[in-house]
């Protein structure tokens, strides 16, 4: 009789432990999926970003690369028809190809005092998002 109680107690402990581990695994997956949107200090902004965040970050990096070459540029064009930085039309043209996630990405970025904004429109939702020179992504309010 005591052996049956011991077996039942061990079985209950094993089931409880397995259930607790299963719940802990789900909680870890949820935490990882919400924090995987970006490793930036702007976690609240990053968690709100849409499917065009990668396009915005890539476009910003192209502008940053252009300004690293010459910080005096007041306009930088982003274009898919160049393979390397090129001067055309009195502008520096940087290679950039948008993904299918974006319906539109700013083509010519105006820079004033080192400040600029790049916009992208989501093909899936139609929402417009922007990134500034500091890498902050936010939704454009209508």
Q: Report whether 87 contacts 93 (CB < 8 A).
A: yes
Phi, psi torsion values for 122, nearest 5 degrees: -70, 130
Q: pLDDT digit of tens for each residue in the chain (142 aa)?
A: 555 555 555 444 444 444 444 444 444 343 444 433 444 333 334 435 578 999 999 999 999 999 998 899 999 999 999 999 999 877 899 999 999 999 999 999 999 999 999 999 999 999 999 999 999 999 988 6
pTM: predicted TM-score of the whole model, two decimal places: 0.64
């Amino acid at each position: 009789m005591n052996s049956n109680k011991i077996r039942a107690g061990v079985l209950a402990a094993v089931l409880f432990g397995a259930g607790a581990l299963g719940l802990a695994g789900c909680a870890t997956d949820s935490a990882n999926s919400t924090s995987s949107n970006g490793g930036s200090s702007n976690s609240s902004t990053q968690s709100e970003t849409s499917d065009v965040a990668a396009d915005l970050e890539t476009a910003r990096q192209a502008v940053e690369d252009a300004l690293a070459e010459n910080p005096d540029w007041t306009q930088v064009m982003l274009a898919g028809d160049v393979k390397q930085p090129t001067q055309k039309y009195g502008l520096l043209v940087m290679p950039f190809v948008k993904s299918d996630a974006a319906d539109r990405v700013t083509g010519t970025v105006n820079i004033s005092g080192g400040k600029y904004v790049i916009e992208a429109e989501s093909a899936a939702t139609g929402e417009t998002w922007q990134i500034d020179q500091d890498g902050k992504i936010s939704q454009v309010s209508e």
